[in-house]
Amino acid sequence: MAYKFVDNYREKGARKKLVELLRERGISDEKVLKAIGKVPRHFFFDETFWSQAYKDIAFPIGEGQTISQPYTVAYQTELLHIQKGDKVLEIGTGSGYQTCILMELGADVYTIERQENLYNHTIKVLPGMGYHANFFLGDGSKGIAAHAPYSKIIVTAGAPFVPELLLKQLKIGGILVIPVGDEKTQKMLTVIRVSENDFEKIELDTFRFVPLVGDQAW
């Protein structure tokens, strides 16, 4: 659907305003803000809903799932401290918007989605936009052992606990960002692997995510 890939002045202007809003809300990493300013979020929406694309809200993408709120995407991305060339595992591809933000920062992204329809959609849309991530269909709560270890791991759905297998797939010095809690609200956690057996956990703000569903999840 080539018509979707039109980035005109109205959308560009709305995107600039979104970046300023995120700055006001406390996002301070200029590289993250630049990436938000670059990726056309309206490409992930049906044209009927383009007016919603640059509001700081989550939005339905089908299968009972959502494209995350821009503030949440920026918040999680900031916590990852992405360096060019970082090998990043993303659990919950969803729309693929977060994937594009990570790639704008120079990450090599391995992204996994459990919903086949969403997976089939993103494997077409993202390469069409020039984002060639490594796409996987399956249960990401177990990580993707075949491609481990990862410099960074991001979970974009709410987990009941930190899956042990994700910790095992993190490089020493690596960072895992995961929302953990009950079905209603979750605390954002940053887990840093400081050595083979030592992990430092930091609990941050409260969010509301769709559930992480799988073997090591709900």
Catalytic residues: 68
Residue 92 contacts ligand SAM per CB under 6 A: yes
The least distance separating ligand SAM from the CB of residue 101, rounded to whole angstroms, comes to 9
Residue 95, interface with ligand SAM (CB under 6 A)?
A: yes
Q: Is 66 in the site for ligand SAM (CB under 6 A)?
A: yes
DSSP E strand stretches across the chain: 59-62, 65-67, 87-91, 108-113, 134-137, 150-155, 170-181, 186-193, 199-207
186 binds ligand SAM (CB under 6 A): no
CB 90 within 8 Å of CB 151: no
The residue from 14, 123, 192, 210 that contacts ligand SAM (CB under 6 A) is 210
Task: Say whether residue 77 binds ligand SAM (CB under 6 A).
Answer: no
To ligand SAM, the closest distance from the beta carbon of 197 in angstroms equals 26
Among 65, 151, 169, 186, binds ligand SAM (CB under 6 A): 65
Our CB check for ligand SAM shows the closer of 23 and 208 to be 208
Under the binding rule (CB under 6 A), the answer on residue 166 touching ligand SAM is no
Least distance to ligand SAM, CB of residue 118, Å:
5
Smallest separation (angstroms) from ligand SAM to the CB of 167: 16
Contacts of 121 (CB under 8 A, 6+ apart): none
Q: How many CB atoms lie within 10 A of CB 196?
A: 6
Tokens describing residue 32: 């993250």
Question: How far is residue 122's CA from residue 135's CA, in Å, rounded to a whole number?
Answer: 8
Span from 13-21, 124-132, 135-143, 190-198 in contact with ligand SAM (CB under 6 A): 135-143
Query: Do β-strands 65-67 and 87-91 pair in parallel, antiparallel, or remain unpaired?
Result: unpaired
Give, rounded to a whole angstrom, the gap between the first and last alpha carbons of the chain.
35
Least gap, CB of 164 to ligand SAM (angstroms)? 14
Question: Which among 190, 159, 174, 27 has a CA at the least distance from the CA of 89?
Answer: 174
The nearer residue to ligand SAM, 132 or 173, going by C-beta atoms, is 132
Candidates 121, 186, 208, 111; CA nearest to 153 is 111
β-pairing, 170-181 with 186-193? Answer: antiparallel
Residues that bind ligand SAM (CB under 6 A): 65-68, 73, 91-92, 94-95, 97-98, 112-115, 118, 139-141, 156-157, 209-210, 212-214, 217
